[in-house]
Amino acid sequence: MISLKIVALVSLFYFGILFGVAYYADRQRKRGRSMIDNPSVYSLSLAVYCTSWTFYGSVGRAATTGIDFLTIYLGPTLIAFTWWFLLRKMVRISKEQNVTSIADFISSRYGKSPMLGAIVTVFAVLGIMPYIALQLKAVARSFDLLVNPLSTSNTLHVLPKFDLYFDSALVAALILGLFGVLFGARHLDTSGRHEGLVAAIALESVVKIVAFVAAGIFVTYGLFDGFTDIFHDFLVRFPEREHLLRLGTEKNSYAHWLAMTVISMMAVMFLPRQFHIMVIENCREEHIRKAMWRFPAYMFVINLFVIPIALAGLLLGNGDTHNADFFVLTLPLQYGQPWLAMLVFIGGFSASAGMVMVSSVALSTMILNHLVIPVILRFQSKAQNLSILLTNLKRAGIIVVILLGYIYYRFLGESAALVNIGLISFVAATQFAPAVIGGLYWRQATQRGATIGLVLGFIVWFYTLLIPSFVQSGWIGPEIVNQGLFGLAILRPTELFGLSGFDIWTHALFWTIFFNLGSYLAISLLTSPQEAEQEQVRKFVDVYSPIPVITEKTRITRAPSVIEFVDLMAKFIGEKPAHSAISDYLGDRDIDEKGSLSENELPKLKRFTELTLAGSVGAAPARIIVDNYLSARGSHMEDVFDLFGSINISRTASREQLSVLYDAARFVASGNDLQSILDDILKIFTEQFKFDLCVIRILDQDRQTLTVRSQSGMTSEHFGESERDLTLDTFIGETFLTNTMSVVNDSDFISKPQTAEIIRREKILSFAHAPIDVEGQPIGVISAFSRTAKGIFTAEFLELFSSLAGQVGVAFRNAEQTADLIAAKEQQRELEIAKNIQLSLLPTKIPEVAGIRLGGICIPAKEVGGDYYDYLCHDNGRLDLVIADVSGHNVGAALIMSEARTMIRSRSGKFSKPDELLRELNQFLYEDLTKAELFITLFYLQYQPDTRVVEYASAGHSPTLLWQAAQSQCLRLDPEGLIVGVKKDFFYEKDSYRLASGDVLLLYTDGLIEAENDHNEFFGEERLAELLRENHHLQPQELINYIVDQVRLFTGHQNFKDDVSMIVLLAE
Amino acid sequence: MRRARKLPLKDAWAIWFLLGVVMLNYPFMDIFNKSILILGIPLPILYFFIGWPISIFVVYLFSIYLGRDSDQPPPEQDQQTISQRKPE
């Protein structure tokens, strides 16, 4: 005996650990890591199959009826062979269809039938109730035995200080309910997965196997000398019970053995909690492969000591089987191992808790989705946010399911052994097998077949198993079992239709499956699947086949926008999950400028919304929700008139489509001129698809309009041949500006009045425009118009249309590239010529003039510039300096400069004044400059060595800088004057200055002061003047080099963008 | 030729499954259903507790075979991690 306080404390501590693990797993998941994403955890979580029935009940069964308990584990071991095919297929389907439960799975398979979902749910709850009762009974009894080993049946405990009596089963129910709520319904998860729950279950599986094996070792080797010793003692002491170790006995017939094997095979697959943990909570299909042997191995180990403990219990208890279910607990307790007993209790509690938590979560999900939500949708669909309500309902569902189990226990559970209660649930789960397995492989299976099969199966189950158990508990009188319903012996529940000689389980299994499978097969053969079912058949039976590109044969009229779909989802699953779902979905889809999807995407979005909702509320309710929503806003799905049959471009493109694309590619590659390529493509396209008109419009850069480049089909001067402005008011303009396709499948609904008018006049019924782009930049629009049919632009056709537009784009790019190549070659040659001319204009040597020193430089930019400078020495000793810059960077500019140079060289001697020379030059070049659209800036300076006077004039050139040595200051020499080539008759201003020793003149072109650094700052005149001030003492060429270096430092680049030229004159 | 040799083995699960069902049932079981002790353990018990691990071992070998096979997924059954799939 262990004191109540210790048991309570240890249990609480264990709850704490379980909750800690679950909480940690949930937190890890939020961080994107998964604790349960490995095959070991998956295998351990499957061991939720081993409940307190395994833990306590197997021993009880072994001690009373013999080794038939083994079938409960041998069945699953055998069915594990099929898992890679059967279970994996179920997992694959469930993930793809966002299935939430076995009810959802069955309902989804048979056309998302809400009725079928509800039927499965009701049966599952009825079927599992006894099983939950069993767990509560086990926890309560083991608790009672632990604190009072002499207690015989359910007793009430008293809480000493409060004088409060409590029933340990109710306490267990409440604690397990709390666990269920905490782990299973903290939020409404769209993926339907509960990582925390699974982690806790896996831990519990470890605890229960450790506890059981520890007890087994203690009993087998502590109390006896191993297995042989126990068997020997048993056979000597109870030779009359040798049948416990045999098959084919009265209690353990071969038929019974086979029936139990079949029942357990089905139960391990189709019990709602097994389905939930194996299918819904599965992270990866790959885990199944390892679980196939790990899970059976777990069962093997946990069963290794069942028979020894059972026989030891009988030996040590003088053959008393009264408490046989709890030998594993009472033996350590009786033989001075209270802590081992405590461990066993915790193990047994783990076994119960795991089952109850997973079952209650699975069942409450089913109740919520298939019973509650349909009602809510009927009465409360206006509410804004249902997600919180739904979460609370799920929590309430968990508590209700467990309390139902408790009620069953209070009324019926006391009378039956653990194993018997559990088997009732196993046979119930077996009823789901025909509908599920048939649904996975048999196309002909219909909703009506499945529904009637299930209903009959459950009626027979109720009659052949539950009624006898009611009788056994004394709940109803024994007449029905003894005399049969209405006194008809043929209707006796345990010998239905006179089938006698079988135990109750074999009998029930036979009749339930007979009616269930029989009507499922017969009615499926007699009926044919409805349209909604056929769609689902493909998704279930052919789940491994490549997913065909969905051919959109429906469209939504008055379709809701994306936002409206999101709001709909948010209402049921909460805002955050809804937004993250939609952003995942929209990730790579085309969205137009209004934030909505193209018409062809909307039915897909509808399906996506349905699928997302299905993850929370199940497939059938999800379909109802979306359909109700659409019909409420007057939208409906209508069939698209499909001109091309069921063709799709990606995999099974029709011959017509492929040939059009092939021909188009051939035209593009032909190397013909662009116009004939375009004409050929349009012609074949129009002919192949019987369009009335197809047009290619290309952007006219100068006029910014889309002008017709090619046209095929009917002619109409107001329509096909007309130009289109770049405006969103027309579909063509919109297509171009947004670079997305525009499709109007029904010209009765056109949003743009301007287009509507033309379209109606031309009797166009549907049309589509696709942008033609070159490297993402739209350059035109290809259009197709039909006068014959509406709705012809299906998704797969638009794919072809878009490919064709792409081909046209390629043709354009090819043509453009060819032209560019030719132009580039020409330009390159021209630049070389221009550069040669320019270089030939520059002086080759610096003249020697008395009283001054000179320096000059011209650094051509990468591309040819138009700078020119020169020194002109005259016979009278005069020196003329000229620096000029011509706009334009081509041969024309170079030639003009050459012309100017010739004129200056030949005429400068005749002009004694610089302003006169500029006037003459301006008049001389005006015509040519105007014609060539060029102009020249120029600074002209004459130096008389005898007087040391400089006279100068400027034609809009950058001012010359003068360093006055005497005053130590910098001056700008900037006489007024127009740029050469602007006005024919113009008088230039002339200035003069007498040089003093040390004065420096700096003539330059704007390339110098407009040199730019990375911050877009110009070098500027200020900096130049500063350099001159600081370095006026340098020799001219040194000064020039220094300035060039400083400018390069400033820009950070070696090369200049424009030519840089300078002349420096230093007066000695 | 490798694929051709693999196929029969891949479907072997059905044979193993049926073999298991047969070996664990009447009449096959009757062979071992005798009141004999072998190594001090009743024959039926010994039969189960030896046959069971053997069947688990066969599943184990089968799962290893599947694992090797799934390194080169057949075209129609890709081994994609389904939990990462997005609904279409």
Give the residue ranges of chain A where pLDDT is below 50: 549-551, 592-594, 638-653
CB contact under 8 A, A96 and B85: yes
pLDDT at A588: 56
What three-state secondary structure class fits A499? coil
Number of other CB atoms surrounding residue A146 within 10 Å: 27
CB contact under 8 A, B82 and A284: yes
Out of B56, B62, B87, the one facing A612 most closely (by C-beta) is B87
Place of tokens 């197997």: A58
Range A10-19 contact pairs with CB under 8 angstroms and sequence separation of 24 or more: A10/A342, A10/A346, A11/A345, A11/A346, A11/A349, A14/A207, A14/A346, A14/A349, A15/A175, A15/A179, A17/A203, A18/A179, A18/A200, A18/A203, A18/A204, A18/A353, A19/A179, A19/A182, A19/A183, A19/A200
Question: What is the DSSP code string of chain B?
Answer: -HHHHHHHHHTHHHHHHHHHHHHTSTTGGGGT-SS-EETTEEHHHHHHHHHHHHHHHHHHHHHHHHHHHTTS--TTS----GGGPPP-
A-proximal residues of B, 21-80, CB under 8 Å: 21, 24-26, 29-30, 33, 35, 37, 39-42, 44-45, 48-49, 52-53, 55-57, 59-60, 62-63, 66-67, 70, 76-77, 79
Angle between helix A114-147 and A418-430 (nearest 10): 170
CA angle A985, A990, A993 (to 5 degrees): 170
Q: Assess contact for A735 and A743: CB atoms under 8 A.
A: no
Out of B13, B40, B57, the one facing A228 most closely (by C-beta) is B40
CA count, 13 A, side-chain hemisphere, A251: 15
Q: Assess contact for A714 and A692: CB atoms under 8 A.
A: yes
CA-to-CA distance for A136 and A624, rounded, in angstroms? 37
In three state form, how does the secondary structure of A799-856 look?
Answer: HHHHHHHHHHHHHHHHHHHHHHHHHHHHHHHHHHHHHHHHHHHCCCCCCCCCCEEEEE
Angle between helix A418-430 and A254-270 (nearest 10): 70
CA A316 from chain centre, in angstroms, equals 63
Q: Which helix (H) or strand (E) holds A285?
A: none
Whole-number CA gyration radius for chain A: 47
Whole-number CA gyration radius for chain B: 19
Q: Assess contact for A169 and A403: CB atoms under 8 A.
A: no
pLDDT at A407: 86
CB contact under 8 A, B25 and A261: yes
CB contact under 8 A, B26 and A84: no
Interface test with A, best of B83, B84, B85 (most A CBs within 10 A): B83
pLDDT at A988: 92
Out of B35, B63, B82, the one facing A285 most closely (by C-beta) is B82
CA-to-CA distance for A599 and A635, rounded, in angstroms? 13
Number of other CB atoms surrounding residue A204 within 10 Å: 28
**Region of residue A968 (phi > 0: left; psi between -120 and 50: alpha; otherwise: beta):** left
Give all strands (DSSP E) within A956-1052, no chain letters: 960-964, 969-973, 991-994, 1000-1004
CA-to-CA distance for B12 and B7, rounded, in angstroms? 9
A96: chain B residues, CB-CB within 8 Å: 82, 85, 87
Closest CA to A20 of A209, A204, A196: A196
pLDDT tens string B50-72:
888 998 898 888 888 877 765 54
Place of tokens 């070049």: A925
Q: In the numeric block, which tokens belong to residue A829?
A: 């040659």
Q: Assess contact for B79 and B70: CB atoms under 8 A.
A: yes
Q: Which helix (H) or strand (E) holds A600?
A: none
pLDDT at A554: 57
Q: Which helix (H) or strand (E) holds A409?
A: helix A387-411
Place of tokens 């389980």: A505
CB contact under 8 A, B25 and A284: no
Interface predicted TM-score of the whole assembly (ipTM), two decimals: 0.80
Give all strands (DSSP E) within A425-567, no chain letters: 554-557
What three-state secondary structure class fits A711? strand
DSSP state of A549: P
What three-state secondary structure class fits A608? helix
Closest CA to A307 of A84, A63, A99: A63
